[in-house]
């Protein structure tokens, strides 16, 4: 959907997409497109008869709960997903960037409890290595606080340490970035930079203990075999890490397998780090070196503004000094509706099953609720236990629509600490991290 803005001297500007128009000024877009004005207290949108008619016409149906629709809200039906070009072995993913390659998975393709290899999102910072021979691949473990620096082959790892298989959830720190206003720099992820496959490998702590960890150890950093997009061999595309406590968790692993197969090349073949519950950027791919540090790791993209957020709330669009930023650690509570697919047409006389997944960083999810009246009332769902710590939890329910029209199904998760997803985009930050606003899908009840 496009609209045309007119400048003060009545010269037409270029046509803007609906998202661009709302990004400039959501309330102005409401007034321009629908004649909707916000209530000064509730922030609900009041649609005049002509505005309600215009929005209903654009949607092709009535809106039974229009009186509850928040001001500045783009109907979910206008955010249709488009798979675009296909990536071999990753058909259906939406490409956001091709150098480096970044692609997300539409929500309805994440319906499996265990994310299949071909549905796992791609977040690259550099160019993956070529001509990989897993038989000659090595992993060096060293650093100031490593007592016995050692180099392992994959065969060494498999023979010397206990093999473990865990379902572990990974999410890009910028997942949901596209909803921030004003727009934040970086790949404009919507909801699909997340997945929860089954990884097989060895515990990171077993390898670290074998090499010896000095008392002054603070961090474990990684390096991978990917190369910088500039082609400069002296530059690392990314080298991040985690505090020693996170590295020593039972669920932090060095993996060579995903869902019983070799890890796909774009997801880190032949060896990767998996530190679930934190931004996926700490789970290094094409892993060939680990460093045990006596300080916070200082590799590429460890320093602000990369993967950091303001220590205190800031006004949207603010310039935040690096000294006022903090490194992102555990990710916030979040949920995803994987069925129905947004835009579904459904017989309003029949119950509609609804399901999805929820996760909460280092914590667990205690409840998931759904709403069909723009967050005015919420109903609990049946929530499954996680198969192991740091895996997402599946949930399911159903809804019954009272009459034909346009509806949105919203999902809201809560963790065991009582923290709940916000109904709107949370506090703005310069890089658009940690958006855990409620996921919503559109349904046409007929």
**Quick check: helix, strand or coil at residue 413?**
strand
Kindly report the backbone phi and psi dihedral angles of residue 27, in degrees, each rounded to the nearest multiple of 5, phi listed first.
-70, -35
pLDDT band at 45 (very low <50, low <70, confident <90, very high): low
Q: Which carries the bigger pLDDT value, residue 227 or residue 52?
A: 227
Residue with the two structure tokens 């997903």:
81
Instruction: Kindly list the structural domains of the chain, giving each domain's residue range(s) and its CATH number in brackets, ordered by start.
Output: 16-74 (no CATH), 94-327 (3.90.420.10), 334-445 (2.60.40.650)
Give the model confidence (pLDDT) of 227-248 as tens digits.
Answer: 999 999 999 999 999 999 999 9
**Quick check: helix, strand or coil at residue 6?**
strand
Angle, CA 22 vertex, CA 21 and CA 28 arms, to 5°: 90
Closest to 322 in 3D by CA, of 314, 313, 311, 331: 311
Q: How far is CA 42 from CA 49, 50, 72, 361, 438, in A?
A: 20, 22, 13, 31, 18
Beta strand 94-98 with 101-104 is antiparallel
Give the model confidence (pLDDT) of 285-330 as tens digits.
Answer: 999 999 999 999 999 999 999 999 999 999 999 999 999 999 999 9
H/E stretch holding 209 = helix 204-211
Rounded-to-integer distance, Cα 100 and Cα 77, Å: 30
Average pLDDT over the chain, rounded to whole? 91
Q: By percentage, how much of the chain surpasses pLDDT 70?
A: 88
Q: Is 92 exposed, middle or buried (0-12, 13-18, 19+ CB in 10 A)?
A: middle
- Residues 210 and 157: beta-carbon distance below 8 Å: no
- Determine the pLDDT at residue 160: 98
- Our CA dihedral for 188, 192, 196, 198, rounded to 10 degrees, sits at -90
Given a cut of 50, whether residue 12 has pLDDT beyond it is no
The DSSP annotation for 340-402 comes to SPTTEEE-TTS-EEEEEEEE-TTS-EEEEEEESSTTSS-EE-EEPPPSSTTS-EEEEEEE--S
């Amino acid at each position: 959907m496009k609209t045309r803005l007119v400048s003060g001297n009545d010269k037409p500007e270029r046509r803007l997409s609906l998202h661009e128009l709302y990004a400039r000024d959501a309330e102005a877009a409401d007034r321009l497109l629908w004649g909707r004005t916000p209530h000064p207290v509730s922030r609900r949108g009041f649609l005049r008869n002509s505005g309600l008619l215009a929005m209903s016409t654009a949607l092709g149906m009535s809106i039974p709960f229009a009186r509850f629709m928040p001001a500045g809200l783009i109907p979910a039906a206008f955010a249709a997903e488009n798979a675009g070009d296909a990536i071999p072995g990753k058909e259906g993913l939406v490409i956001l960037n091709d150098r480096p390659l970044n692609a997300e998975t539409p929500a309805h393709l994440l319906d499996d409890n265990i994310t299949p290899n071909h549905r796992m999102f791609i977040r690259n910072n550099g160019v993956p290595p070529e001509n990989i021979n897993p038989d000659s691949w090595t992993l060096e473990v060293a650093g100031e606080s490593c007592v016995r620096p050692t180099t392992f082959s994959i065969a060494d790892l498999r023979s010397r340490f206990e093999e473990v298989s865990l379902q572990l959830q990974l999410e890009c720190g910028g997942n949901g970035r596209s909803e921030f206003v004003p727009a934040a720099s970086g790949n404009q992820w919507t909801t699909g930079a997340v997945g929860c496959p089954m990884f097989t490998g060895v515990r990171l702590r077993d390898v670290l203990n074998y090499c010896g960890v000095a008392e002054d150890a603070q961090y474990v950093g990684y390096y991978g075999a990917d190369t910088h997009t500039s082609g400069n061999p002296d530059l690392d595309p990314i080298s991040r890490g985690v505090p020693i406590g996170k590295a020593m968790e039972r669920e932090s692993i060095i993996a060579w397998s995903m869902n019983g197969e070799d890890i796909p090349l774009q997801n880190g073949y032949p060896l990767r780090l998996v530190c679930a519950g934190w931004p996926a950027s700490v789970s290094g791919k094409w892993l060939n070196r680990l460093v045990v540090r006596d300080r916070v790791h200082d590799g590429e993209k460890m320093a602000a503004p990369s993967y950091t957020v303001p220590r205190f709330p800031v006004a949207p669009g603010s310039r935040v000094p690096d000294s006022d930023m903090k490194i992102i650690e555990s990710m916030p509570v979040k949920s995803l509706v994987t069925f129905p697919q947004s835009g579904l047409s459904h017989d309003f006389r029949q119950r509609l099953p609804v399901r999805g997944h929820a996760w909460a960083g280092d914590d667990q999810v205690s409840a998931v609720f759904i709403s069909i009246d723009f967050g005015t009332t919420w109903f609990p769902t049946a929530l499954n236990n996680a198969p192991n710590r740091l895996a997402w939890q599946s949930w399911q329910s159903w809804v019954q629509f009272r009459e034909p029209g346009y509806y949105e199904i919203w999902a809201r998760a809560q963790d065991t600490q009582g923290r709940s997803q916000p109904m709107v985009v949370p506090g703005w930050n310069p890089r658009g991290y940690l958006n855990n606003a409620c996921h919503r899908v559109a349904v046409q009840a007929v």
